[in-house]
Structure 1
Amino acid sequence: MADTLIFIFSLLDCCFLIFLAVYFVIAFSDLECDFLNVTACCSRLNKWVLPELVAHTGVTVFMLITMHWLVFLLNVPLAAWNLCKYFSIPSGNVGLYDPTEIHNRGKLKFCMKEAMAKLGYHLLLFFIYLYSMIFAMVSD
């Protein structure tokens, strides 16, 4: 029963992260098509960077604590990437997404590709959590 609850929590967390990834893709797409102001877009996205970091890193640590080693190892690369990006924000920037730098050197295209990659990654993890939950329910 405990494993089932662990994977239900992970599944709900993954749904939140999928929603955030879609939100980021839409925001970058709107910015690319000039439907959004650069300052408004960056301020909207920057307030969701920390919740995304906490949600994904929390599940990663939770999988480590509950000794689900394979799922933990699948979560580590993205958690490390998010932590590295968050702690390497230059001191003059307003956040991870800075309005003055978003259009420089193709950073907008990179951010769009990163958001799409995160979306795919979270979709993969969603199905892994779903099948792990079903397996845990059958095993109990």
Structure 2
Amino acid sequence: MAEVFYWILSFVLILTLLCLLGYQLILLVDLEFDYINPYDSTSRVNQVILPEFLMQGIFCFINLIAGHWFIFLISLPCLYFNVRLYIKREHFADVTEIYNKLNWEKKKRLFKVGHLIVIFVLSILSLVWSLTDEVH
């Protein structure tokens, strides 16, 4: 039962992270095409940055506690990057510099999305592998 709870929680956290990053990307693309002003865009992006960092930390912690070392080690670089940004106080988007850093902000989030998709696929493969081990 604990394994089923782990997989459900893991998939919910990954999908939540993907939704948060997708929301940030949509806001940045809207800013790029002038559909939204810089203040609204950065304030909305900044509202979901800390929840994203918290979800990533919870995801890593759950994998560590559950003993899923491979997924934990793969998700650790993204957590390290988030912690490093937070410590340097570079995690929030600045309204005065958003146009200068727009490409970097989009690339950063696209890399995180790609990283999460890889983790999601590996989680599905790990789930299938654990289910086939229980059958045999």
2:105 is aligned with 1:111: yes
Secondary structure (helix, strand or coil) at the match of 1:48 reads helix
Counterpart-to-counterpart distance in 2, 1:117 and 1:129: 18
Aligned equivalent of 1:120: 114
Counterpart-to-counterpart distance in 2, 1:2 and 1:135: 17
Counterpart-to-counterpart distance in 2, 1:139 and 1:17: 29
CA deviation digits over 1:21-46, x for unaligned, max 9? Answer: 21111111111111111010011011
2:130 is aligned with 1:136: yes
Unpaired segments of 5 or more residues in structure 1?
none
Q: How does 1:60-139 map to 2 (within 5 A)?
A: 60-89=60-89, 96-104=92-100, 107-139=101-133
Q: State the TM-score, normalizing by the size of structure 2.
A: 0.90
**Considering only aligned residues, what root-mean-square deviation do their CA atoms show, in Å?**
1.5
1:133 is aligned with what amino acid? L
Counterpart-to-counterpart distance in 1, 2:6 and 2:122: 13
Counterpart-to-counterpart distance in 2, 1:59 and 1:66: 11
Q: State the TM-score, normalizing by the size of structure 1.
A: 0.88
Sort the Cα spacing of 1:59 and 1:14 in 2 relative to 1 into closer, same or farther, 3 A.
same
Q: CA deviation at 1:124?
A: 1.0
Q: Which of 1 and 2 has higher RCO (CA within 8 Å, sep 6+)?
A: 1
Figure out how many residues of one structure are paired with residues of the other and give that number.
134
Unpaired segments of 5 or more residues in structure 2?
none
**8 Å contact kept, 1:39–1:99:** yes
Q: CA deviation at 1:116?
A: 0.9
Secondary structure (helix, strand or coil) at the match of 1:102 reads coil
Aligned equivalent of 1:24: 24
